[in-house]
Amino acid sequence: QVQLQESGPGLVKPSETLSLTCSISGGFISDYYWTWVRQPPGKGLEWIGYISYNGDTNYNPSLKSRVTISLGTSKNHFSLKLNSVTAADTAVYYCARVTGPPVLGSGALDYWGQGILITVSS
């Protein structure tokens, strides 16, 4: 059974960089795509971006200038960096596994982490 766990600081100051890690247990990065999704308090889901097992990435156009998703040095984690954060970036951040290549439109988000609340405040 694949399990995902987000980790990172719960509080980030405005203008600084938000850094999160998603740790994968019960599986490996190989053969899948991996994605980040966020949800502001009381609002809907927003797709942030994905990374493939070989490092290919694609980002939400509205966040592209501030986002970087990367693979970890080991085969069981990947990371999210979002720079120049503002209060509008306050949200629960989820990592999830994508079952197929998004370019083919065939990828479902089948395993999700429990989410981590990130608050942007001074």
Q: How far is the CB of 50 from other proteins (least distance, A)?
A: 7
Nearer to other proteins, 57 or 83 (CB): 57
What are the tokens at 115? 């989410």
Nearer to other proteins, 31 or 110 (CB): 110
What are the tokens at 2? 């694949």
Query: Of 35, 8, 24, which is closest to residue 120 (Cα–Cα)?
Result: 8
Q: How far is the CB of 57 from other proteins (least distance, A)?
A: 10
Count of CB atoms within 10 A of residue 83's CB?
14
Nearer to other proteins, 50 or 78 (CB): 50
The contact set with other proteins (CB under 8 A) reads 35, 37, 44-47, 50, 58, 60-62, 94, 99, 102-103, 105-110, 112-115
What are the backbone dihedrals phi and psi of residue 88, each rounded to the nearest 5 degrees, phi first? Answer: -65, -15
